[in-house]
Amino acid sequence: MKKKLFIPIILLLMVVISACGNKSTNNTDASASASPSQNANEPASTVAASGTITYQSESGPVEVPSSPKRIVALSNAPNVLSLGGTLVGVDQWTNMNPLFKEKLAGVEVVSEADLEKITALDPDLIIAGTEIKNPDELKKIAPTVTYTWGKLDYLAQQHEIGKLLNKEKEAQAWIDDFKQRAEAAGKEIKAKLGENITVSVFETDTKDFYVFGNNWARGTEILYQAMGLNMPEKVKKDALGPGYYTLSQEVIPEYAGDYIVLSRGVADDNAFMKTEIWSNIPAVKNKHVIEIDTKTATYSDPITLEYLLKIFTEGFLGKE
């Protein structure tokens, strides 16, 4: 009698357990198919149910929001802005740049030392340079990703920020388009002015003079990399490797190309431009000097590059 009762009970339990298992499986499948952030071809380890992604940073994997809403950028803020990222905190140098003034209205200026201030901003992502001294403290506040300045070229850096913000497609689309437009402009410049035309990029703060290589902002990436224009041999010898070279005013003519891009503060003293040394440079005599404001030219992000591409196209070709 006991055996006869026991068998039906076991069968009933098996039916119930089986039904629960099927229900659980069905719910999981429905949830997975309803999730807009899950890509069928994406490894499961990169997307979490909590709306995060695993970003492979140079220091290792970091779990970050798949759509960050409150970003503190102690570095690379312009790259974030170019992709429509929402900043709640920014470094002082980006904040001082006229190109970003409108986009940074109401954004708090912070440094790595402002831990309480950063905490109060309630960020969901922090971006900084690897040179910061307190990365562990920042990580306690929010997921923190650091980059080594200059480790990536200007286009690769934009691509990485795109991956970090889950906007890789947008970043790559801009990269492809910019490269095409800048290369076309370079070909047009060479067709008009000659294949061997040389360009020098100088900067002065009224006291010191510098000449730049091909990767030190001030539009050097556009001129030498994207457009493929030439730098004078003297510049190549002294500035290409280190990125820049400090000059005395007396030797500036030795580094001057057929065209000069001059980076200086618009409100700074320009007495040097009235000196005999400067006035006798062939590029100056021929009015082949394109001036840019130092404050707007010290980054290599898409916003800055688009701004400078327009200036260069007009300066070399006489058109926008």
Instruction: Report pLDDT for 33.
Output: 32
Whether the predicted pLDDT of 28 surpasses 70: no
140-160 residue pLDDT tens = 999 999 999 999 999 999 999
Instruction: Report pLDDT for 34.
Output: 32
Q: At what angle do helices 168-193 and 154-164 cross, to 10 degrees?
A: 160
Q: Where in the chain is the domain with CATH 3.40.50.1980?
A: 46-166, 181-317
Instruction: Report pLDDT for 294.
Output: 96
Mean pLDDT of 65-88: 98
Whether the predicted pLDDT of 225 surpasses 60: yes
DSSP state of 129: E
Residue 80 three-state SS: helix
* Percentage of the residues of the chain whose pLDDT score is greater than 90: 81
User: What's the farthest any 2 CA atoms get from each other in the chain?
Assistant: 119
Instruction: Report pLDDT for 15.
Output: 33
The more confident residue out of 266 and 105 is 105
Instruction: Report pLDDT for 50.
Output: 64
Whether the predicted pLDDT of 14 surpasses 70: no
Mean pLDDT of 222-244: 98
- Integer Cα distance of 137 and 151 in angstroms: 24
Whether the predicted pLDDT of 320 surpasses 80: no
237-296 residue pLDDT tens = 999 999 999 999 999 999 999 999 999 998 888 899 999 999 999 999 999 999 999 999
Mean pLDDT of 198-215: 94
Mean pLDDT of 167-194: 98
Whether the predicted pLDDT of 43 surpasses 60: no
Whether the predicted pLDDT of 20 surpasses 70: no
Whether the predicted pLDDT of 86 surpasses 70: yes
The answer to whether 88 touches 134, Cβ cutoff 8 Å, is no
φ, ψ of residue 260 in degrees (nearest 5): -125, 130
249-260 residue pLDDT tens = 999 999 999 999
- Integer Cα distance of 228 and 212 in angstroms: 15
Instruction: Report pLDDT for 319.
Output: 67
pLDDT band at 54 (very low <50, low <70, confident <90, very high): very high
Instruction: Report pLDDT for 22.
Output: 38
Mean pLDDT of 68-76: 98
Instruction: Report pLDDT for 222.
Output: 98
Q: Which fold does the domain 46-166 belong to in CATH?
A: Rossmann fold (3.40.50)
pTM: 0.83
Whether the predicted pLDDT of 32 surpasses 90: no
φ, ψ of residue 109 in degrees (nearest 5): -90, 125
Instruction: Please state whether 281 falls in left (phi above 0), alpha (psi between -120 and 50) or beta.
Output: beta
Q: What are the Cα distances from residue 94, in Å, to 109, 181, 297?
A: 9, 26, 11
Whether the predicted pLDDT of 4 surpasses 50: no
Instruction: Report pLDDT for 2.
Output: 32
Superfamily of domain 181-317: Nitrogenase molybdenum iron protein domain (3.40.50.1980)
Whether the predicted pLDDT of 230 surpasses 80: yes
Q: What are the Cα distances from residue 88, in Å, to 80, 105, 109, 117?
A: 12, 10, 9, 11
